[in-house]
Structure 1
Amino acid sequence: GCPFAACGNCPFKEHKRVRSGNISRKMIQRAEIQRTIRSDEFEENYRFRNGVEAIPSQLRRNQKIDNLPYRGFLGKKMGCFLAITAINVRRALRYAQEDAKKVLDYIFQLVFTGMLVNFDLISQTD
């Protein structure tokens, strides 16, 4: 280093480069955003956002909702309704395939208890 650094009387001080820089507002904002992105709360919200944004994406990709062949407000509304219904039916079928036994047991239980209730009501009225 400089032998005059300790006393502060360096004769070459005017000729030395000064290390300085500017920090803009944009850089500060970017640093704050990066800090919030790394937080756990942001990750939880982002996971929820992925689930929400999947539906419009699926409507655009699979159902071609941007180019519906229906005219008018009610036609577009019905087209959207049918597209969303198709997505829900697909999900229900996928769920039924995964848990077919549980679904069938549940349906059988509903039908069977419904028959018992109806039978009891009929026998009580006689």
Structure 2
Amino acid sequence: MDMSFLRMGEWWTKPEHFNAPLVFYLEEEQEEKIFNRQEDRYLHCMEEHSHTLIQLESWFTVTDHNHFTVVGPPKARQWLMGMIWLLEHRNVHYQARGYQMPQNTWSQTLTKENLAACLRV
């Protein structure tokens, strides 16, 4: 597995990191738990530590979901996709694991171990 993006400070200079953006929808409650949107302090940390750019758009939907678009290195997008999958899982243990994942990125950069754990999901 190529982990060179973890050492790369300027991932945004690589055009291939903008191909096939990850697009997903989250309920406001999940969004609050992941990004702490009231203060917006964790969204920037998650972007910086996962080497991604996360764009949030509030959409008026019946289910009150918000629209997210993520660009960045493929492994980082895969990690975020795994986190969302866990958060939406019916199993409470998987959900708890999903809520733990963003907490790791609030204080530190994603590691090889973080990414490998996500791939095991």
- Band the TM-score falls in, shorter-chain normalisation: under 0.3
TM-score normalised to structure 2 length:
0.20
Answer 1 or 2: which has greater strand percent. Answer: 2
TM-score normalised to structure 1 length:
0.20
RCO comparison, higher one (Cα < 8 Å, 6+) = 2
